[in-house]
A and B are shown apart, each in its own frame.
Chain A
Amino acid sequence: MNYVGFVNQELKKALKDKKGVIVFGQNVGTGSCVSGLSRGIEKETGCRVLNTQNSENTLVGAGFGMMRNGVSSIYIMKQLDFLLLGIDQLVNTYNYIRVFKPSASFTILAVVVDNGYQGMQSSLNNLADFCSIARIPGYAITNRRDAEKIIGAHLVSPGFRIIGLSQRLFGRELIDFEQVISCEADGGWLQYTDGADVTIACFNFSIPQGRGLIEALKDKGKEASLFSINSSSPVEWSPIIANACQTGAIVVIDDIKSVNSPSVDLVARARGEEKIRTITHITRDFSSLDWLRPNADELVLNNKNIIHQALK
Chain B
Amino acid sequence: MKKMNVSEMSEKAANDLLMVRLGQLVVNERYKNGDFKVPIHLALGHEAIAVAVSQTMEPEDQLVLSHRNIHYNLARSGSVKEEIDEYLLKPEGAGGGWLGSMNLSRKSEGVAYTSSILGNNLPVASGMALANKTREKESVVIVVTGDGAMEEGAFYESLTFMKTFGLRVIVIVEDNGWSLASRIHERRCEIDLNQLAKAFGIRHDTMEGNDIARYIETLRDIREWTMDKNEPVIVHVLLTTLGHWTMKTEDYPEGKFINYHAGPAKTVNIGDGPVIENSEADPVFVLKSRLDETEFDKLVKNQLQNLSGELP
Residues of chain A whose beta carbon lies under 8 Å from any beta carbon of chain B = 26-27, 29-32, 51-58, 78, 81-82, 84-85, 116-122, 292-294
Contact = CB atoms under 8 A, between A and B. Distances in A.
29 contacts: A26-B180, A27-B180, A27-B182, A29-B186, A30-B181, A51-B182, A52-B188, A53-B187, A53-B188, A54-B118, A54-B187, A55-B151, A55-B153, A56-B152, A81-B117, A82-B117, A84-B117, A85-B119, A116-B37, A117-B39, A118-B39, A118-B100, A119-B38, A119-B99, A119-B101, A121-B103, A122-B102, A293-B97, A294-B38
A55 B152 contact: yes
Contacts of A81: 117
Given A293-B97, A294-B37, 19 more contacts: A26-B179, A26-B182, A27-B179, A27-B180, A27-B181, A30-B180, A30-B186, A31-B180, A51-B186, A55-B153, A56-B152, A85-B117, A119-B102, A119-B116, A121-B103, A121-B116, A122-B117, A293-B98, A294-B99
Given A119-B103, A121-B103, A57 B186 contact: no
Chain B interface extent, by class: 20 to 34
Contacts of B100: 117-119, 293-294
A122 B149 CA distance: 16
B115 interface: yes
Contacts of A121: 102-103, 115-117, 120
A32 B152 contact: no
A83 to B, nearest CB: 11
B89 interface: yes
A58 B156 CA distance: 13
B148 interface: yes
Contacts, number: 90
Given A119-B102, A293-B98, A58 B153 contact: yes
Nearest to A50: B187
Contacts of A117: 37-39, 100
Interface in B97-155: 97-103, 115-120, 148-149, 151-153
A48 to B, nearest CB: 15
Contacts of B116: 118-119, 121-122
Nearest to A292: B98
A104 B169 CA distance: 45
B159 to A, nearest CB: 15
A259 B179 CA distance: 34
A55 B152 CA distance: 5
A81 B100 CA distance: 18
A54 B103 contact: no
B140 to A, nearest CB: 25
Interface centre among A32, A54, A116, A121 (most CB of B within 10 A): A54
Contacts of B103: 119-121
Contacts of A85: 117, 119, 152-153
Contacts of B37: 116-117, 294
B104 to A, nearest CB: 9
A298 B120 CA distance: 26
A266 to B, nearest CB: 32
A57 B101 CA distance: 26
A104 B149 CA distance: 31
A293 B102 contact: no
Contacts of A116: 37
A118 B102 contact: yes
Contacts of A31: 180-182, 258, 261
Given A53-B151, A54-B179, A26 B99 contact: no
